[in-house]
């Protein structure tokens, strides 16, 4: 033993030394490599819209857009047009889960950790703000989610926490974001890393964090704990002009991943099958808001219509009724697709070779708003209205509409048909029409506020609009008018005998099942505990969210 032990010890030293040299030369693919923290930011920002892998909120917005009737599918009998959802292995409409927990997830955690080691508090604050935004994204989409164990890499299964716990985390991270952003110092590397969002402007990132808090307090509108003054306070400190708008930008090179997810190059609105998010057209609900058919805006065409939607060969703005498909429309009334291609119901819904005839957020290089000044003005208008301060509400309401006009005419003023441009004259005529903007603050209604906010969020703010509509349970009545808050909204379903999707015990969807390819495959027991798997789970997606309950 006296001889053997030193030999073993010497061999161990040699092997350890070899192992260290091998590890230095060939990094393990199963462990992360430490990099400069700012190099992680571009991919994180891309994931806030639609990233290189085709995941992000825009992916899911195509489906949720059918629930709120921004979009209608090209062919009839779409599951989503009918308020249905099949929690299948295809993971349809499940990018939201992946966005927060995977695409941003550990990348953001490492960015904050390594930035803190270098005392780069601005970058830490940016990471905290994005994490707060992400917690709201998943909580509003799924309800109960994994919070406390979310980023614990030692676990293989995870327990779910309440929706309330997720909301506590939103508030905590947003305040931590502001704390870190307030002690930020000059960071020369940040501007380039952040070139596709805020360009390293810390003051604008503070506005973003305040915007998250404005949304946070606004979402409590149905609860006794609702604090309208807090919603107003943070909305005032968030985006105030279109220069503050938080938008993901795109280089739009020949590489697909550098292009807008909604643009024609990535072809995410193309095709003819209902198995995939293809053949999407503008829905009748949004079209009728803008063409003057909706009773709330009866006879008042909106100058913004041709900046956001597509025309037809009749030269009018018409939308496709939910669940109907274009075949129910006369050929001359069928709208072009969002890339400007006119089709009949049997033709391939192709994407064009370039985006010269595309407009709004449907161009290859169009920035995608994540949060806007217009949204903040409407949050303020709603909160002031509920507080009873109608004068403040009316001013914020007008500011919200004006901010949206500004965004369209400044950022999205390309490929507008001749004669359909927004002018000072038609803009002023619209805003001075009492059917749109009352002169008396007491004539302002929740319906006007929420429907104008709906218009201002069209296409890019779909997930937040879905939260708004769920807060009003889709068809709640405005007590001031005895009409629905979302006037004219109806389940216009032409499948399953004019009923919602078979199996739904309720007409409306309030949440999604957690992502199949992670949770059903690896975390089945935890899913069963929250009722999202096993017996009775077929109606889980119609379970009302905690945040919209009293």
Averaged in consecutive runs of 10 residues, what is the pLDDT profile of the chain (550 residues)? 34 47 60 88 97 91 95 81 73 93 97 98 98 98 98 96 98 98 97 97 98 98 98 98 98 95 91 55 96 97 98 95 84 91 67 94 98 99 98 98 98 98 98 98 98 98 98 97 97 58 76 91 94 88 96
Q: What is the pLDDT of residue 8?
A: 34
Q: Return the HEC string of 54-123.
A: CCCHHHHHHHHHHHCCCEEECCCCCCCCCCCCCCCCCCCCCHHHHHHHHHHHHHHHHHHHHHHHCCCHHH
Task: Give the separation between CA 261 and CA 248, rounded to whole angstroms.
Answer: 11
Q: What is the pLDDT of residue 262?
A: 96
- What is the CA 383 to chain-centroid distance, rounded? 21
Closest CA to 526 of 145, 141, 152: 145
For residue 176, CA distances in Å to 181, 238, 241 come to 8, 16, 25
For residue 376, CA distances in Å to 354, 382, 389, 411 come to 34, 10, 17, 18
The phi, psi pair for 73, rounded to 5°, reads -75, 150
Q: What is the pLDDT of residue 75?
A: 75
Q: What single-letter DSSP state applies at residue 369?
A: E
Q: Per-domain residue ranges for the chain?
A: 59-88+255-512
Q: What is the pLDDT of residue 307?
A: 98
User: Which residues are CB-contacts of 31 (< 8 A; sequence separation ≥ 6)?
Assistant: none
Q: What single-letter DSSP state applies at residue 33?
A: P
Closest CA to 337 of 71, 79, 59, 93: 71
Quick one: how many helices (H) and strands (E) in the chain?
19, 6
- What is the CA 65 to chain-centroid distance, rounded? 10
Q: What is the pLDDT of residue 173?
A: 98
Residue located via tokens 């550098």 = 258
Task: Give the separation between CA 80 and CA 500, rounded to whole angstroms.
Answer: 10
């Amino acid at each position: 033993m006296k001889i053997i032990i030193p030999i073993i010890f010497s061999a161990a030293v040699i092997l350890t030394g070899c192992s260290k040299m091998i590890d230095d030369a060939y990094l393990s693919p199963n462990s992360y490599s430490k990099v400069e923290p700012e190099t992680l930011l571009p991919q994180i920002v891309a994931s806030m819209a639609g990233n290189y892998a085709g995941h992000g909120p825009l992916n899911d917005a195509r489906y949720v857009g059918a629930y709120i009737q921004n979009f209608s599918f090209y062919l009839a009998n779409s599951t989503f047009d009918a308020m249905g959802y099949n929690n299948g292995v295809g993971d349809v409409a499940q990018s939201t889960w992946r966005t927060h927990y995977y695409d941003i997830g550990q990348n953001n955690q490492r960015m904050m950790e390594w930035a803190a080691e270098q005392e780069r508090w601005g970058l830490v604050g940016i990471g905290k703000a994005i994490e707060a935004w992400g917690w709201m994204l998943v909580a509003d989409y799924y309800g109960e989610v994994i919070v406390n164990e979310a980023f614990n890499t030692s676990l293989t299964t995870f327990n779910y926490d309440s929706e309330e716990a997720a909301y506590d985390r939103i508030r905590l991270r947003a305040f931590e974001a502001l704390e870190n952003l307030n002690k930020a110092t000059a960071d020369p590397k940040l501007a380039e890393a952040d070139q596709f969002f805020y360009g390293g402007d810390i003051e604008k990132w503070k506005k973003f964090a305040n915007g998250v808090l404005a949304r946070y307090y606004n979402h409590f509108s149905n609860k006794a704990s609702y604090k309208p003054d807090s919603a107003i306070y943070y909305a005032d400190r968030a985006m105030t002009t279109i220069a503050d708008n938080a938008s993901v930008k795109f280089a739009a090179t020949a590489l697909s991943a550098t292009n807008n997810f909604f643009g024609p190059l990535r072809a995410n609105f193309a095709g003819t099958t209902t198995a995939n998010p293809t053949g999407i057209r503008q829905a009748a609900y949004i079209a009728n808001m803008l063409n003057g058919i909706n009773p709330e805006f009866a006879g008042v065409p909106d100058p913004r219509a041709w900046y956001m939607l597509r025309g037809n060969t009749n030269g009018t703005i018409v939308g496709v009724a939910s669940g109907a498909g274009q075949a129910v429309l006369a050929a001359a009334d069928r709208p072009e697709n969002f890339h400007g291609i006119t089709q009949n119901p049997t033709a391939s819904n192709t994407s064009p070779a370039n985006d010269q005839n595309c407009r709004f957020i449907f161009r290859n290089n169009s920035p995608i708003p994540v949060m806007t000044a217009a949204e903040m003005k409407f949050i303020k208008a709603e909160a002031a209205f509920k507080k009873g301060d109608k004068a403040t509400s009316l001013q914020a309401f007008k500011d919200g509409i004006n901010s949206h006009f500004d965004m369209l005419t400044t950022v999205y003023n390309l490929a507008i048909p001749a004669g359909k441009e927004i002018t000072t004259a038609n803009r002023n005529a619209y805003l001075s029409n009492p059917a749109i903007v009352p002169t008396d603050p007491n004539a302002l209604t929740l319906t006007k506020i929420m429907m104008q906010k709906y218009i201002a969020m069209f296409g890019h703010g779909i997930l937040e609009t879905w939260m708004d509509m769920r807060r009003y349970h889709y068809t709640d009545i405005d007590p001031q008018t005895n009409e629905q808050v979302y006037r004219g909204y109806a389940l216009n379903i032409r499948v399953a005998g004019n009923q919602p999707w078979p199996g739904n015990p309720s007409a409306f969807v309030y949440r999604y099942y957690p992502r199949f390819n992670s949770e059903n495959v690896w975390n089945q027991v935890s899913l069963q505990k929250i009722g999202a798997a096993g017996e009775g789970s077929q109606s889980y997606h119609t379970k009302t969210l905690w945040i919209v309950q009293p």
